[in-house]
Structure 1
C-alpha cells in the first residue's frame, strides 16, 4: 500500500472515532437505563487518561526532541494559556460550538503530527493514529452528550458536524506529510503547543466531569485509558 494512502486511511479512521462516539452517545440517550451514571463517568475519565497518555508518550517527547529547552517550555505554556483564553471567550459567547472547537484543537495538531511522523520515517505514526482514535471515541461521546443536553443544536445536526470534522483528519495529515514534516522546529512547537492546551482541557473540563461521589470506577477509567496508550507505545517501540 502506498504510504500516502496509509496516512489518509489512518487519519480518517482516527477521525471517524468522533462520530462513532457520538452515535454511541445517541443510543445512550435513547436508552438511558442500559449504561448507568457510573459507566458514563468511566467513559469521561477513560478519555482523560487517553489524552494524558498521548501527551506523555508521544506529543511531549517528540516535541522536546525537536526544540531547545526554552522554546519547548514557551510553546507548552503558550498552548495552555491560549486554550485558557479560548475557554473564557467561548463561555462568554455561550457558544454551542465550544465542544467542537475543543475536539478540533487537539485532533488537528495530532493529525498533522501523524502525517509528519510518516514523512520523517519515524515509528510513532501508527501509535499516534491509535491514540487519536482512542481519545476521539470518548471525546465524541462526551461532546455529543453535552451538546444534546444544551438543546441548541438538533442531534442530527451534531452528528453531521462530527462526520464533517472527521474529514479534517486526512487533510491535516497530508499537510504534515508533504509540508510541515520538513520543518522540525515548527512541528516541535505545534506538538508542545497542543500538549499544553490538551492538558488544560483535561483538568478544566474532563477531570471535573469524571468525578462521582462514593464510586471508584471513574478513576479506574483514567488508569485504563492511560494503560491502553502505554501498551500501544510499548508495542510500537
Structure 2
C-alpha cells in the first residue's frame, strides 16, 4: 500500500475511536444499575491498561533508541510537567474540557510519531495505531461524560468535536512522515514527552475513577488492555 494511504488509514482508524467511545457512552444506559456502573469502570480501566501498554511497549522503547538516557529522561519528565501545567490552567479557569484536552495532547504527538516512524522504516506503526485506538475509545467515552455533565454541548456537538480532533490525526501523521523523518532525535523527544504526559493523565484523570468495591472486572479491564498491547507487540515486530 502507498505509505501516504497507509498513514491516512492508520491515523483515521485510531482517531475515529474517539467519537466511537462517545457513542458508547451515549448508549451505556444499561439496566440493572450495577451493570452500568461496572461497565463504566471497566472501560476506564481498559483505557488505563492500553495507555500504559502504549507507553511501555512502543513510545518509551522507540524514543530511547534515539536519545541518550539523560535527555530521554528529561523529555519524559518535561511531558509530565507540561500536562500538569495544562491541567492546573484548566482547573483554574474552571473548564469542563480537561479530559478532552488530554485526549488531544495524547493523540497529536502519537500521530506525528507514527508518521515519522513509518518514514524511518519502523515496524511499530501498526502496533502504535492499534494501541492508539484502544486508548482513544475509553478516552472518548470518559471525555464525553465529562463534557455532557458539565457543559452546554449536546450530543451532536460533542460528536462533531471528537470527529474534528480525529481528522487532525492524518494531517499530523503526514507532517511526521514528510518533515520529521530526517530528525530521529526530535521524533524520540516527541515520543518520550507524550509518554510522560500520558502517564500523568492515567494517574490524574483515569485511575482515581476506577476503584469500585466488591467488583473485580475493572482491574481485569486494565490487565486486558495491557495484555492486548503485549500480544500486538510481537505481531508488529
TM-score band, normalised by the shorter chain? over 0.9
> What does the per-residue CA deviation read over 1:38-74, in whole Å, with 9 as the maximum and x for residues that have no partner?
1110000000000000000000000100101111111
Aligned length: 235
Could you list the runs of 5+ residues in structure 2 that have no partner in the other structure?
A: none
Contact 2:57 2:230 (C-alpha < 8 Å) held by counterparts: yes
Residue 152 (structure 1) shift: 3.1
Aligned equivalents of 1:234, 1:219: Cα separation in 2: 24
Which residue in 2 is equivalent to 1:104?
A: 104
Residue 20, structure 1, aligned to residue 20, structure 2: yes
Write out aligned runs for 1:31-46 (5 A): 31-33=29-31, 35-46=35-46
Counterpart of 1:202 in structure 2 is: 202
For residues 33 and 154 of structure 1, the distance between their equivalents in structure 2, rounded to whole angstroms, comes to 23
TM-score (norm 2): 0.96
TM-score (norm 1): 0.96
Contact 1:42 1:219 survives alignment (8 Å): yes
- C-alpha separation between the residues in 2 aligned to 1:197 and 1:151? 25
SS of residue in 2 equivalent to 1:156 = helix
- Report the Cα distance in structure 1 between the residues aligned to 2:79 and 2:152, rounded to whole angstroms: 29
Structure 1 residue 33, shift from structure 2 partner: 2.3
Distance 2:50 2:105 in 1: 16
1:174 aligns with 2:167: no
User: 1:66-103, CA deviations, whole angstroms, 9 ceiling, x for partnerless residues?
Assistant: 10111111100101111111111101111123222110
Cα contact 1:21–1:137 (8 A) shared by 2: yes
CA distance in 2, matches of 1:212, 1:97: 24
**Aligned equivalents of 1:182 and 1:235: distance in 2?**
26
CA contact (8 A) 2:97 2:146 kept: no
Q: CA deviation at 1:32?
A: 4.0
CA contact (8 A) 2:106 2:194 kept: yes
Deviations 1:138-167 (A, max 9, x none): 111111112111143222211110011110
Matching residue of 1:231: 231
CA contact (8 A) 1:96 1:153 kept: no
Cα contact 1:8–1:173 (8 A) shared by 2: yes
Q: Is the 8 A contact 2:99 2:139 kept in 1?
A: no
Report if the CA contact (8 A) 2:48-2:202 is conserved.
yes
**Residue equivalent to 1:137:** 137
Q: Secondary structure at the match of 2:65?
A: helix
Aligned to 1:154: 154
2:55 is matched with: 55
Give 2:72's aligned residue.
Answer: 72
In 2, the alpha carbon distance for the partners of 1:81 and 1:3 equals 34
**Deviating runs (4+, > 3 A) in structure 1?**
none
